[in-house]
Structure 1
Amino acid sequence: MTAPHLIRSVVNRINTLLLIRSIWFPKLVKIVWIVTLTIAIGVPVYVYALIANPYNLFGAMPTLREIENPHNDFSSELISVDGVSLGRFIRYNRSPVTFSDLSPDLVNTLLVSEDHRFHSHSGMDFAAYFRVIKGMITFSAQGGGSTLTQQTAKNLFRTREEELSGKLSKLAEPLEILISKTKEWIIAARLEENFTKEELIALYLNTVPFNNNAYGIKVAAETYFQKSPAELNIQESALLVGMLQGTTIYNPVAYPERAKRKRNEVIQKLYRLGYIASQVETDSLKALPLQLNFNIQNHNEGLAPYFRAALQNELLPWCKERGYDLFESGLKIYTTIDSRLQQYAEEAMREHMALLQKNFEADWGDRNPWVDDNGYEIENFLEKKIHQTEAYKVLKLTYGNNVDSINLKLHEKKSMRVFSWRGQRDTLFSTWDSLQYYYKFLHAGLLAVDPSTGGIKAWVGGINHTYFKYDHVRQATRQPGSTFKPFVYGAAIENGFSPCQLYYDIAPAIPVNGRIYQARNANGTFGDGKQYTIRQALARSLNSVSIQVIKEIRPENVASFAKRVGITTPLDPVYSLALGTSDVSLYDMVAAYSTFANLGFYIKPYYITRIEDQNGNVIENFFPVPKQVLNESTAYTMIHMLKGGVEEEGGSSRALSEMVKSENEVGGKTGTTDNGSDGWYMGVTHNLVAGVWVGGDERSIHFPHWGEGSGGKAALPIWDKFMQKVYANAKAGFTQGAFKRPVEFNINFDCDKYTKIDSLLTIQ
């Protein structure tokens, strides 16, 4: 091409460009202005409309006050008197922490992994947004763009849930996402204005779920490592932070290898961004196993599950009256329970009941333990019981009167996990098999109280709360047998009797409803004809003498005395009341025996000292209310009477271990019902009163031989094991010692002067 042609070509191109510019540039400028004005005006209008939510187009937004005081659904926590968490009342198992409760390793791992520009942005990370947009354009994953503050906004105010969605959100999913994201941006900006960065970190970690019923970092640290958040190291922090990217797929219990890979990715990122100093340290951390100390928290696990269940029923109406949600208000409920004593009580029960159950099954062999008064198996026992089950009621609704179909389903085998003293086991059982299996178990309850304060220190309502929900401390009432006799003798002491009062061991003939009644002693005889003091009679648990005494002082006076010292259940004022034929609860029995140890002051056993809100403000304090119901002399004399079980020859408490009796004043009383279906032991020391009940859930279920189910063999060993464990730990504060003695007490317990039968023995 020649030079003139080249010049002409260039000129033509320039002219063309100038023409295009003259035509399109004004249009381009116009478009830019339109877009700019649209953004400048449209975005504020959109944001304002979203906040105002006209006609519910966008869905609700939290108010400024709600953002300034964000509410998180924290579970309420039970705390023992020695500062140990006993568990939580959970809808979502969550408990709050502050920034000072977090380890530096945890904080830095979170920020490096999830939002390393956290301290330099104000709730929105525009660099992250551009990275996400680039990833969308190039179809390559570039990571998420949400900041920790935005995620906190989403978790706190549930911006993605349907109840917060407006009419526009339902039109299309992209529109729903845009609206939700916008809400999160707005809330995040306001959170940044109202909270420090440290507060936001804690707020975020309080809101996130970690699977396995763990919500928030505190519960997660306890669930997976049995640690507090302040104790978490780098590798533990990396595991939990890694879970935030997928709590199900990175669940270390269900998928340990996958969780470990994610943990190691987080550790490598910590090295890459400078938090870990060297590759050698990084590699050593990545080589470590997960080292879980997993313990899922639920209503059935942990210390004192029966206590927690009983307390929940009481706290629900208390919370309702005061406008709190027990499951979401983050209350701190401080109790009188001592975690150490609670642990000892549960251990003592497990140790003895496992052995007792083994003996029970061996004694019955292939026979069923539900028998009538003559020792014959009760016909149709299981048929009657199965009709009371939910499984039967559902089948009845389904099949109506088609008995064959119902029975076929009741006997249909299916996989199930059942309780055993050797641990849970998987088996093939029908509903019928399951019922027969579980009715053969013996059950138990234990309650321990500090008599001077009324504070409950240990509450064990049964052998396993997962499988047996019925509480044998307060819910159940059973015949107390001879453990009721101290109330007979207490009423007698109050009416002028002395512990040295002499009676013949001869069962009196008493007319009852036109028939003659004579009470046999535990050995099956009507007495040996010898003389015994009433202290010796109580120690030996002689029915013959207690019947003579109640006839002398009248049954209604005994019932009144028992009511005064703490028994709240109905008592029949009849002669057999002396043998413990009216049902009582273990809770009441321990309270009544505590009245003796507390020099005549009755204190209703209590278990809450105070309740605080989630900010530590005390909502209510609880105090025991002592009431003097006996004079000090009567109460102390009854302690002397109860000590006879340990000190007198033939006493029913002499089987207690030397460790418990050594350098210690101990009073105790065994109790057994006629057929041996209830075994009791009530033990009294100067600073701890505890009672134990053992038996079948049905009164017809008991050992084939009376003695094996007696209080001395079924219940006393649990009390003894419990007290041995208590005394082995001096730091628990319950040591051996002497009972409180009245300041003015002139009664002489020397019985040598009682050489002849007292006139009170003349009973017709």
Structure 2
Amino acid sequence: MTITKVDLIKWAKRMSYALGLLLALFICFYASIYFGLWGKIPDSKQLAQLKQSQATQVLDANNDLIGKIYVYDRQSIKFEDFPKHLIDALVATEDVRFYEHNGIDSKSLLRVFFKSILMSNDSSGGGSTITLQLAKNLFGRKNYGPFGIVINKIRESIVARRIEKLYSKDEILTLYLNTVPFPDNTYGIESASEKFFNSHTKDLSLVQSATLVGSLKANTGYNPRRYPERSGARKNVVINQMVKYGFLSEAEANKATTDSIVIDYQNYAPNEGLAPYFRAEIKKQLDSLLKQKQFRKPNGEMYNIYHDGLKIHTTLDNTMQRYAEAAMQEHMSDLQRQFEKAYGQNAPWLKGKSAFEAAKKRLKSYRKYKAQGLDDQAITDSLQRPHQIDRFSWDEITVASMSTLDSLEYYSKFLNAGLVSLDPSNGAIKAYVGGIDYGFFQFDHIVQSKRQVGSTFKPFVYTAALEQGMDPCTYIPLKAITYTDVNNWRPTNAGGLDDEDLNYNLQKALSNSVNTIAVKVLYETGLGNVIAQAKKMGIESHIEAVPSIALGSSNLTVLELAKAYTTYVNGSKASNPVFINKIEDKDGNIIASFEDLHPEAQNNSMAFSNETRQVMLEFMKATVNEGTATRLRSTYQLPNALAGKTGTTQDNKDGWFVGIMPKLVTVTWVGNDNQQIGFSSTGLGQGANSALPIFAKYLQKLNADSKFNSITKASFENPTEAVLNSLNCDPTKTDGFFKRLFGNKKEERQFKKQEKKNKKGGGIFGWLKKKDKDE
């Protein structure tokens, strides 16, 4: 068949009509997208006020990042903070004509069309520009079915053109680098730099910049933490691109390609990383603080800690925190093994034991089944169904198949711990360890847990006694006495210390934590006076009016105990614990200063006299030098100026140690969260063995770091001559013949008289329920 000229003209017309129709359809399709029929496209006004969700940064006292609060892990920085090699690496790899196009790189699109679509050449690269990627990062993509890729691309091209009209190239790069997603759910170059290299963006090396830029191609596949070899190869591709386009010399490239990638990974996830218990407490405080009207935005709206990029300046010292966490882990992993070995096959946390059965009935799932009317056997059967869980151990975290009851038995054996360090001069919290592992044990043992404090309460008794006029050289008999006003209670001393002829002065009694004398001092001082003294020193929890408080039967938090002990090195004033120094918005404007956050800081009054404070410090120095805390000198060889107090509670359930230094007060606690489970022996569970070593190891690490010389080498003030004279007496005295013959009845009459006085004052002792012992 012959094709005539007329046929060709007709065919050409039909093709032109078809192409015209297609063009018209495309214009209509484009217009439908442009005018918002597929969803509104951000206009110039919206783009001019770009606001991206930013993580709230939690900073330590040195302005170092210790954690974040976020939905998306993102924080913004300025263009001036980007090193030149970072910009060069990005442009060379992602968009080499970035400075030439207006958001759409026509040459790249034509190359992609001809090579990828017509010639099926996968090496042609992509046609997406940095601006197009920015549009995608800012506004995401929606699902439009089979037309999704086309619609989204067109939307992004429209947004890209608008962005190019509104922003300079440097501003576009700033927006891009602050929003682009990096591996491990990290958004923005600053967050990625801190996470992978523990560095600010401005301090990135060429290799580090190339590594992060290289990961943009595939966040998972080129993750330098998970796939270091693959990431290294991709890094070299970036370096070669920089050479190809003249951003880097061959010599510089050769060095960069041979340098290995050294990761210094920092995890700022809420359940992981440094100081997770402290950060959780910060979040709770922010939730409350930012509701107050004086801390809101100028327009009255509340700040959002997940989106507004706040900067929370805390009192914590990140290095001290690392030392504290390391000390806790070193000691607790070893103590846990001793704890389990000591019980052997007769452990109280095993199934069938009373402690386990009681814990089972406290389970939320048990109570739920019980409310549904199931009997105990049916509930037990339901709780024995296995499931996969992450299982904690001091060696490694593993995945195991365990039932709810298996898990209860397994986790009930773990000892937990707490540590807090305060600067006594201002209450600043310098280290805060709320437990052994936040991911598995989220209960905070610093502010949430109240436990019996054992002999760490005794200094409050002795402080009250001195304030009431008792002489430090008062001699009190060791022997036990029966108190008929409290159900014939007869407190005794640990270790069989019961020499009926021996008397201790107050320093000897406190430094050796003698129970019988502590109770006698309380009786002589008056229970009401002791409670009032503790309250003056900052104890806020309820103190039951029973004489067993002399042995530490009161339940207090670690933090309030630390606060009370700051009085001994802060001019007799209690230091209110301080977590936050100031809060700034993302632009550095102060939302709340220290004065706003802590108006009570100037209102502290003296809890006791300076003379009493100096005497008490001498008493507690003796505890370290010759009393229950001598391990600090003998075992751990600590030369520091130290005072302190150990504590152990009934059945060895709680171990305590308070370490006092001129510029640091630290409290450590160890115990089981199930208060029915204690240590199997006093030798293992006493505070000197369970809690003191955490403090000792912590202080060893501080001593080895010259950065903390101002703390570790500080000296106590010299006591006045009057105080030294008041302490100038023998620590012990033995009763003479006539004292031994007639003294017992006289002493009994004295305490009977005191009992009647106490009863007359309102029967304040009540009914003693527990006979608490301390070391």
Q: Quickly name the TM-score band, shorter chain normalised.
A: 0.7 to 0.9
Query: What is the CA-CA distance between 1:401 and the residue it aligns to?
Result: 3.0
For residues 87 and 373 of structure 2, the distance between their equivalents in structure 1, rounded to whole angstroms, comes to: 61
1:83 equivalenced with 2:63 (yes/no):
yes
- Other-structure match for 1:329: 308
Report the Cα offset of residue 710 of structure 1.
0.5
SS in 2 for 1:668: strand
Cα distance in 1 for residues equivalent to 2:131 and 2:262: 31
Q: CA deviation at 1:270?
A: 2.8
Matches within 5 A, 1:716-755: 716-732=692-708, 733-740=710-717, 746-752=722-728
| 2:508 aligned residue | 536
Partner of 1:556: 528
Q: Does 1:763 align with 2:751?
A: yes
Q: Which residue of 2 aligns with 1:242?
A: 214
1:369/1:704 contact within 8 Å kept: no
1:223-264: CA deviations, max 9, x gaps? Answer: 333333334344433332232222233334445554444444
CA distance in 1, matches of 2:267, 2:369: 34
Q: Check whether the contact 1:521–1:527 (CA below 8 A) recurs between aligned residues.
A: no
Give how far 1:520 is off: 0.6
Query: Contact 2:33 / 2:39 at 8 angstroms: preserved in 1?
Result: no
Measured against aligned partners, the alpha-carbon deviations of 1:668-692 in whole angstroms (never above 9, x if no partner) come to: 1111112111111111111000011
CA contact (8 A) 2:420 2:562 kept: yes
Q: 1:680 aligns with which of 656, 665, 671?
A: 656
Q: Map 1:171-570 onto structure 2 (within 5 A).
A: 173-174=146-147, 176-278=148-250, 285-286=256-257, 290-321=261-292, 322=296, 323-370=302-349, 379-389=353-363, 401=374, 407-408=380-381, 410-413=383-386, 415-513=388-486, 515-526=487-498, 528-570=500-542
How far is the alpha carbon of 1:396 from its aligned partner? 7.5
SS of the equivalent of 2:417 reads strand
User: Is the contact between residue 565 and residue 574 of structure 2 (CA under 8 Å) also seen in structure 1?
Assistant: no
Query: By how many angstroms is 1:739 displaced?
Result: 2.9
Consecutive unaligned residues of structure 2, counting only runs of 5 or more, are 297-301, 753-775
CA contact (8 A) 2:415 2:672 kept: yes
Higher Cα Rg, which structure? 1
Report Cα offsets for 1:457-496 as digits up to 9, x if no partner.
Answer: 0001111112211111111110001100111111112112
Q: Closer, same or farther in 2 for the Cα pair 1:254/1:394, shift >3 Å?
A: farther
Residues 697-721 of structure 1 deviation map (CA, whole Å, 9 limit, x = unaligned): 1222122112320011111121122
Q: 2:414 is matched by which residue type in structure 1?
A: F
Report the alpha carbon displacement of residue 42 of structure 1 after superposing the two structures with TM.
7.2
User: TM-score, length-normalised on structure 2?
Assistant: 0.84
**2:686 paired residue among 695, 710, 728:** 710
TM-aligned CA distance change 1:660 to 1:25, over 3 Å: closer
Q: Secondary structure at the match of 1:670?
A: strand
Indicate the residue corresponding to 2:616 in structure 1. 638
Q: Which of 612, 616, 631 lines up with 1:655 in the alignment?
A: 631
In 2 relative to 1, CA 527–232 (structure 1 residues): closer, same or farther, beyond 3 Å?
A: same
Question: Which position in structure 1 is the counterpart of 2:770?
Answer: none
**Does the C-alpha gap of structure 1 residues 161 and 326 become closer, same or farther in structure 2, counting only changes over 3 Å?**
farther
The 10-residue stretch of structure 1 (41-50 or 593-602) with the greater mean CA deviation from structure 2? 41-50
Partner of 1:167: none
CA displacement at 1:724 relative to structure 2: 2.0
CA distance in 2, matches of 1:388, 1:631: 44
Partner residue, 2:769: none
Q: Following TM superposition, by how much is the alpha carbon of 1:30 offset from its aligned partner in structure 2, in angstroms?
A: 11
> TM-score with structure 1 length normalisation?
0.85
For residues 609-653 of structure 1, what are the alpha-carbon distances to aligned partners after superposition, in whole Å with 9 as ceiling and x for unaligned? 111111111111124504013244233332233223134x4x112
Amino acid at match of 1:451: P
1:4 is aligned to none
Work out the CA distance in 2 between the residues paired with 1:712 and 1:544: 20
1:348-394 superposed Cα distances (whole Å, 9 cap, x missing partner): 111211221121122111221359xxxxx984432332344456578
Residue-by-residue CA offset, 1:200-235 (whole Å, 9 max, x unaligned): 222212212223232222222333333333343444
1:227 & 1:753 partners in 2: Cα distance? 59
Deviation at 1:143, TM superposition (A): 3.1
What letter matches 1:734 in structure 2? I
Q: Any residues of structure 2 matched to 1:3-18 within 5 Å, and which? A: none
State which of 142, 154, 158 in structure 1 corresponds to 2:136: 154
Structure 1 CA distance for aligned equivalents of residues 340 and 20 of structure 2:
90
Distance 2:402 2:17 in 1: 80
Q: Which SS does the other structure have where 1:695 is aligned?
A: strand
2:715 maps to a residue whose letter is A
Query: Is 1:668 the equivalent of 2:644?
Result: yes
Q: Paired residue for 1:100? A: 80
Equivalent pairs counted in the alignment come to 721
1:130 aligned to 2:102?
no
| Distance apart, 1:583 and its partner CA | 0.3
Query: What SS does structure 2 have at the residue aligned with 1:111?
Result: helix
1:29, distance to aligned residue in structure 2 (A): 11
Contact 1:502-1:531 within 8 A present in 2 as well:
yes
Deviation for aligned residue 1:416: 4.1
For residues 654 and 206 of structure 2, what CA distance do their matches in structure 1 show?
A: 55
Q: Structure 1 residues 527, 281: CA separation in 2 closer, same or farther (over 3 Å shift)?
A: same
The answer to whether the Cα contact below 8 Å between 1:556 and 1:574 also exists between their aligned partners in 2 is no
C-alpha RMSD over aligned residues: 3.6
Post-superposition Cα deviations, 1:423-481, rounded to whole Å, max 9, x if no partner, equal: 32444543333221211111111110000011000001111112211111111110001
Partners of 1:470 and 1:365 in 2: CA distance: 27
Q: Residue in 2 aligned with 1:10?
A: none
Question: Contact 2:420–2:446 (CA<8 Å) still a contact in 1?
Answer: yes
Give, in angstroms, the shift of residue 746 of structure 1: 4.5
Structure 1 residues 161 and 43, CA, compared in 2 at 3 Å: closer, same or farther?
closer
Question: How far apart, CA to CA, are the structure 2 residues paired with 1:452 and 1:95?
Answer: 34
Q: SS state of the match for residue 298, structure 1?
A: coil
For the structure 1 residues 697 and 33, does the alpha-carbon distance in structure 2 shift closer, same or farther, using more than 3 Å as the test? closer
Report SS of the residue matched to 2:694. helix
Q: Is the 8 A contact 1:612 1:618 kept in 2?
A: yes
Between 611-620 and 410-419, the greater mean CA deviation after superposition:
410-419
Structure-1 separation of matches of 2:464 and 2:290 = 41
